[in-house]
Amino acid sequence: MLIIFPFAAGVLLSLNLSPTVSALFVRDGSEQAVLSESNSNSIALPGGEWEEVDISEGWADPRINGGRLLDFTAPLLGEPLNVILSGLSDPYVLTEEGFREYTKSIGYSNECLGLHIGNIHKADLGDGNGRTPELYLARQAYFPVWGTCWESIAGGHHFRAWRQNGTHADSGAWFIGASKEEHSQKRHKIVENGYNLGRDWFVESAVAGSHQKGRNVWWGAEVEWRTGLLEPGSNGVNHGIAQDGRVAVLTVFRV
């Protein structure tokens, strides 16, 4: 329940369209069993002890309690979680709705999610929740008519996001894996240098500032670059595409 529920809330739009997602529900019992199994693996730390983590900066290093800054795309490979939207950000963008609306304002959209959604990635943010499925996936909105349907065909920027809110590191931060994809005939492979490019696109749009039309809110962001969280290079990285190991910590505020 804990596992399926946040997932269902996050990517509701794709439920009828994606074979992967339907499979989760059609084979409800078995899929849930698999997910909770990987969960408990991660929860059972050596010695069974949890480290106290400091969340005063609005996020916690997932590695302290057994997580990592690569997601789990496949058993041995993952994609970098290269943007952290800090829990010190405006409380609205820390909610699911607020995050969705905010990322729309900087140029992503969740429309047409069902097209080429690919497989669901999991991540362990070291917050006690173990490996959880992505809560949210969004794609670059190119222009109004086609919206993200066009991105699904043409390739472009997209990201997956998880929330660090388990009881062992309840920072409320969003951990985001951003990348740039090839067009769909290439089955959504990441482009050359696609992790760095995807991250930089997210960060540049956020720092440039944006306007959320529905609520008439203007957003700005500050960025702090961190090294040492992710190993630079392509070791364990999906598609073998190297990345520079830098993680952007964004704090989003109203202007």
* Unique residue bearing structure tokens 């304002």: 105
- For every residue of 55-73, DSSP letters joined together read -TTS---GGGGT--SB-BS
- Work out how close the CB of 163 gets to ligand NAG at its nearest, in angstroms, rounded to a whole number: 5
Decide if residue 87 touches ligand NAG (CB under 6 A). Answer: no
Q: Rounded distance, CA 78 to CA 255, Å? A: 36
Decide if residue 96 touches ligand NAG (CB under 6 A). Answer: yes
Angle at 30 between CA 27 and CA 35, to 5 degrees: 115
* Phi/psi-derived region of residue 28, left when phi > 0, alpha when psi is between -120 and 50, beta in every other case: alpha
Q: How many C-beta neighbours within 10 Å does residue 31 have?
A: 15
Closer residue to ligand NAG, CB minimum distance, 96 or 222: 96
- Angle between the 28-43 and 19-26 helix axes, to the nearest 10 degrees? 90
- Work out how close the CB of 165 gets to ligand NAG at its nearest, in angstroms, rounded to a whole number: 4
- Work out how close the CB of 38 gets to ligand NAG at its nearest, in angstroms, rounded to a whole number: 18
Decide if residue 90 touches ligand NAG (CB under 6 A). Answer: no
Produce one character per residue of 227-252: b if its CB has 16 or more CB atoms within 10 Å, e if not: eebbeeeeeebbeebebbbbbbbbbb
Q: Rounded distance, CA 147 to CA 228, Å? A: 36
Q: Rounded distance, CA 149 to CA 144, Å? A: 10
Count of residues that bind ligand NAG according to CB under 6 A: 5
Q: List binders of ligand NAG among 158-187 (CB under 6 A).
A: 163, 165
Q: Rule CB under 6 A: choose which of 3, 6, 130, 252 binds ligand NAG.
A: 6
- Work out how close the CB of 77 gets to ligand NAG at its nearest, in angstroms, rounded to a whole number: 25
- Work out how close the CB of 135 gets to ligand NAG at its nearest, in angstroms, rounded to a whole number: 6
Closer residue to ligand NAG, CB minimum distance, 15 or 154: 15
For 62, phi then psi, to 5°, come to -60, -25
- Work out how close the CB of 50 gets to ligand NAG at its nearest, in angstroms, rounded to a whole number: 15
Closer residue to ligand NAG, CB minimum distance, 135 or 217: 135
Closer residue to ligand NAG, CB minimum distance, 135 or 178: 135
Q: Rule CB under 6 A: choose which of 135, 137, 229, 247 binds ligand NAG.
A: 135
Q: How many C-beta neighbours within 10 Å does residue 130 have?
A: 25
* Residues lying near ligand NAG in the complex (CB under 6 A): 6, 96, 135, 163, 165
